[in-house]
Amino acid sequence: MKKLDEILAGKKSVGLAGHVRPDGDCVGSTLGVYNYIRKYYPDVDVRLYLEPIPNIFKFLNFSSEIRSDYEESVVFDLFIAMDCGDEKRLGNAARYFQEAKHTACIDHHVSNQSFAEENYIFPDASSTCELICELLDTEKITKEIAECLYTGMVTDTGVFQYSCTSSSTMNMAGMLMDKGIDFTKIVDEAFNQKTYNQNRAMGQALLSSRLRLGGRVVTSFLTLEEMHALEVLPKHMEGIVEQMRNTKDVELAVFLYENEDHTFKVSFRVNGAFDAASLAMHFGGGGHVKAAGCTVEGPAEEAIERILAEVEKRL
């Protein structure tokens, strides 16, 4: 895949989706492509499917047109999966992917096994939004598209501080800034700002955290009961594991929160050379070398012990 226009040529209907529990890169990349198709392919029937997105991303253009209802029956000429390491991570949108006449995937997860017909997968890229930038003609990136892509780059790089940030990342970000976006506002709204209840949840997770394996690993979890008491949802868990990772001398941060079905979503974040993607894949998940995740059975304390037993073999 050299340019997005190549796979869009001749298509009358296009479906778009990203991974379950969408984060900034997922929302930014899918909305960036959605805005592009709406702008330059007005005759194409394009639909974007995502689970409900965090409120902090609702300032992005056309976010109100995201579909979270998967009941409609439609076979797309082309379905593009973005920021998604495997078909299962598309959630309920997977059926549209399976039934589409043609499929494509744009992604930067190291665990991605090229599950689409057309694949543009580079694990070393900072974000899927950076890859979208490569697939679009710079002159055709509008301010609205740039806002989407910059949002994804900012959130997946920790405002360009994570090791996945390269000179190419910074050059792409500079190009997007030149489109007239309010980049300081985007950083503040999409990355820094948290609601009062989100801050309380982070405080609870930090207070109950524990140093394990001689201080090399920090772990914490929130139960469904605690989340209900704090009035937070899974989409409000963003940023907690990153803050845990900032603990001095810690090589791995492990954070769990309970799902409605009483399984636990696990997030791994790494300092140093530890491979989080390999660890997550061992438990049926995936992701990046320094940021990955999976879902495990509870209770939380037992799940953490299983995870630590595997971590101890690898440290």
The identity of residue 190, as a single letter, is A
Residue 268, CA atoms < 13 Å, CB-side half-sphere = 31
How many residues in the chain? 315
Is the predicted pLDDT of residue 112 greater than 90, yes or no? Answer: no
**3-state secondary structure (DSSP) of residue 67:** strand
pLDDT per residue as tens digits for the range 114-126: 999 999 999 999 9
Question: What Cα–Cα distance (Å) separates residue 219 from each residue in 106, 225, 314?
Answer: 32, 19, 16
Q: Which CATH number fits domain 196-314: 3.90.70.10, 1.10.1200.10, 3.30.450.40, 3.10.310.30?
A: 3.10.310.30
Residue 164: pLDDT band by 50, 70, 90 thresholds? confident
- What is the pTM assigned to this prediction? 0.85
* Cβ burial, residue 63 (10 Å; 0-12/13-18/19+): middle
Strands 210-212 and 252-258, bridge-based pairing = unpaired
* Helix, strand, coil abundance in the chain, percent, nearest 5: 45, 20, 35
Which has more confidence, 109 or 299?
Answer: 299
Of the two residues 190 and 11, the one the predictor is more confident about is: 11
Q: What are the sequence ranges of the domains in the chain?
A: 4-192, 196-314
Please give the CATH architecture assigned to the domain spanning 4-192: Alpha-Beta Complex (3.90)
313 alpha carbon, distance to own chain's centre: 28
3-class DSSP state of 252: strand
In this prediction, residue 61 has a pLDDT band, given cuts at 50, 70 and 90, of very high
Task: For residue range 236-254, list pLDDT tens digits in order.
Answer: 898 899 999 999 999 999 9
∠ CA(306), CA(308), CA(314), 5° rounding? Answer: 115
Structure tokens at 295: 């879902």
Q: Could you check whether 4-192 and 196-314 share the same CATH topology?
A: no
Q: What is the pLDDT of residue 279?
A: 96
